[in-house]
Amino acid sequence: MDERKFLILQAIIDDYITTAVPVGSRTISRKSGVGFSPATIRNEMSDLEELGYLDQPHTSAGRVPSAKAYRWYVDQLLSAGPLSKEDGDRISGHLSMRSQQLEQVIRRAAQTLSELTNYTSLVMVPQMQSMRIMRVHMVHVTETMALMIVVTNAGMIKDSLIRIPEGISGDILYKISNMLTEQLAGLTLDEIRQKFAEIFKDLRENRKLFASVLDALENRMAEGESEMVVGGGANLLHYPEYSDVEKARNFLSVLESKEKLYPLLRSAGTLEFSIRIGPENDLPELSECSLVTATYRIGEDTRGTMGIIGPTRMNYQRVISVLDFMGKALSDLLTKDK
């Protein structure tokens, strides 16, 4: 696979990404500096098809890049290009509106991402696994229910309702909260489990309560991560790939079932960037889509994931740039004001 093939493949992909129309030899010959005649290019294209980089919808249509081609394309591309000043400002602007609630920030990030790329965006609320607990509070909601509020080192606040034994006064709840904060501050979930085992040993009263608390902590920290925000779901309908209503509906219903979406984002792991192209996605509904994900940080060791879903012929360059910038912006914002 020589230099020239690269050039031609590149040209084909570039063209197809913007036009969504199978691209022919003449087009390539005319456009883009490659100074060869259509015939030459045809030969090369023929080779490229044999190698699996191009598909032909039918004889006498142009060629279309295959998933393999995109894969090659993005592998070659993985340096995030700089983002236009304008777009950068837009991101900063949208995010900087002072909103203390994490949820708000996430929502706004998703919206900005989809507006900037014109694709669909997903942003996951960061995973608590490795977070450290800073404070624990419990307050009465009814006689037998309390709200447990956990503040983590990342400045995140999680609350959950827990059932408590009757007859526990507000004062006691307050004391216990203080005690818990004192004991648990700075610990991760794993360490908390241990600690609880200790505490439990020489505990006489309120065993039930403590059990509830541990339970809630476990649940909240493990499950809490499944929260996710989707932005710009309707954007996909702009693209000719989805002028078929059937396909559009399929796509949209995936977006509505977070159970399907979640493992998708999850499986990207903690890589800085991950790009899944078409069939590389496990979901058959998304076999004609690409998913680009990136991570953002909160503090040192907490990471969140966000991603963009678009047609396989998406503008990877731009998507990566935007995600890169957004990742930094989010990390800054969320880490700074801790």
Stretch that binds a copy of itself, among 40-48, 206-214, 233-241, 322-330 (CB under 8 A): 233-241
Q: Considering only CA atoms, which of 124, 125, 10 is closest in space to residue 74?
A: 10
DSSP 8-state class, residue 63 = B
Rounded alpha-carbon distances, angstroms, from residue 49 to 56, 68, 163, 212:
8, 11, 64, 62
- Residue 46 or residue 160: which is nearer to a copy of itself going by CB? 160
For residues 230, 235, 239 and 243, what is the CA-based torsion angle, rounded to 10 degrees? Answer: 90
Rounded alpha-carbon distances, angstroms, from residue 83 to 46, 90, 142, 179:
36, 11, 52, 49
Q: Does 253 bind a copy of itself (CB under 8 A)?
A: yes
- Shortest approach of DNA to residue 313 CB, angstroms? 16
Q: Given CA atoms 68, 72, 78, 80 in this order, what sign does their dihedral have?
A: negative
- Residue 61 or residue 203: which is nearer to DNA going by CB? 61
User: Which residue in 63, 94, 137, 297 binds a copy of itself (CB under 8 A)?
Assistant: 137
100-129 positions binding a copy of itself, by CB under 8 A: 100-101
CA distance 295 to 135: 26
- Residue 212 or residue 274: which is nearer to a copy of itself going by CB? 212
Helices and strands counted in the chain (H then E): 12, 10
265-324 positions binding a copy of itself, by CB under 8 A: none
- Shortest approach of DNA to residue 238 CB, angstroms? 19
Residues engaged in binding a copy of itself (CB under 8 A): 100-101, 135, 137, 139-142, 145, 147, 149, 151, 155, 157, 159, 161, 170, 174, 177-178, 232-234, 237-238, 242-243, 245, 248-249, 252-253, 255-256, 338
Residues engaged in binding DNA (CB under 7 A): 4, 22-27, 35-40, 42-43, 45-46, 49, 56, 58-63
